[in-house]
Chains A and B, each alone.
Chain A
């Protein structure tokens, strides 16, 4: 069974600060996805990273996939209250498209 560990579990910061969420595993994934989920809604895909060492930017969000494709990070610059939510990483197995989710990081950005 492939496991993904996310850290921290909870993060509370002031508007304008930066934050980083980590997703680590001892297993190799063919791809890794980051989602954001609002209460009472389904997860919304933010990005998919596929290549080891890949870096993707989405406005103030920067996603990195580790060289060995075992870990990933999400960095938010100058966080805003609208960034508040549950951030989930999910790794796809090499065979098939089954996803393994990390435990999630609850982010609260205070105005």
Chain B
């Protein structure tokens, strides 16, 4: 089956710094990647949709200047949390798809901002 990886799996950073999370499709070319965040005991909330070679489409309420998304190739998308604050601490999950069918989810990245 299709495999999506995320790196790092866990990251701790200091308030005010930036952190980059990578999402890779390992055995297929992902035309579209999605970024979600999940707070404890809650469901997934879509942050943005990323298409290769074009600007990401952000959901309402998500600051595009704070959550920078780059989808430079068909197998890699990155999410950079800029000037992180403790309230940005969350579980960030990406998914990837190569068509109109299922999305394949990564294992998630736990971000803790101290």
User: Which A residues fall within an 8 A CB radius of B?
Assistant: 33, 35, 40-45, 48, 88, 90, 96-104, 106
Given contacts A103-B42, A103-B43, A106-B41, contact A98 B49 (CB under 8 A): yes
Q: Which of B6, B43, B93 contacts A102 (CB 8 A)?
A: B43
In the assembled complex, how far is the CB of residue B106 from the closest CB belonging to chain A, in whole angstroms? 5
User: Which B residues fall within an 8 A CB radius of A?
Assistant: 4, 6, 32, 34, 41-46, 49, 91, 93, 95, 97, 99-108, 110
In the assembled complex, how far is the CB of residue B111 from the closest CB belonging to chain A, in whole angstroms? 13
Q: Is A43 a contact partner of B102 (Cβ separation < 8 A)?
A: no
In the assembled complex, how far is the CB of residue A103 from the closest CB belonging to chain B, in whole angstroms? 5
- For B4, B42, B103, B104, the residue with the greatest tally of chain A CB atoms inside 10 Å of its CB is B103
A/B interface sample: 16 pairs, CB < 8 A: A35-B105, A40-B91, A42-B6, A42-B95, A42-B107, A42-B108, A43-B93, A88-B43, A88-B44, A90-B44, A97-B101, A99-B103, A102-B43, A103-B42, A104-B42, A104-B43
Q: How far is the CA of A38 from the CA of B108 in the complex (A)?
A: 11
Known: A44-B105, A45-B105. 13 other contacts (CB 8 A): A33-B102, A41-B107, A42-B4, A43-B44, A43-B93, A88-B43, A97-B32, A99-B46, A99-B95, A100-B46, A101-B45, A104-B42, A104-B43
Q: How far is the CA of A96 from the CA of B50 in the complex (A)?
A: 12
Q: Is B42 a contact partner of A40 (Cβ separation < 8 A)?
A: no
Contacts between the two chains (Cβ within 8 Å), count: 52
Q: Is B102 a contact partner of A42 (Cβ separation < 8 A)?
A: no
Q: Is A97 a contact partner of B97 (Cβ separation < 8 A)?
A: yes
Q: Which of A48, A98, A103 contacts B34 (CB 8 A)?
A: A98
Q: Which of A41, A45, A97, A101 contacts B43 (CB 8 A)?
A: A101
Q: Which residues of B contact A88 (CB under 8 A)?
A: 43-44
Q: Which of B43, B97, B100, B106 contacts A42 (CB 8 A)?
A: B106
Q: How far is the CA of A54 from the CA of B93 in the complex (A)?
A: 29
Q: Which residues of B contact A40 (CB under 8 A)?
A: 91, 108, 110
In the assembled complex, how far is the CB of residue A54 from the closest CB belonging to chain B, in whole angstroms? 16
Q: Which residues of A contact B93 (CB under 8 A)?
A: 42-43
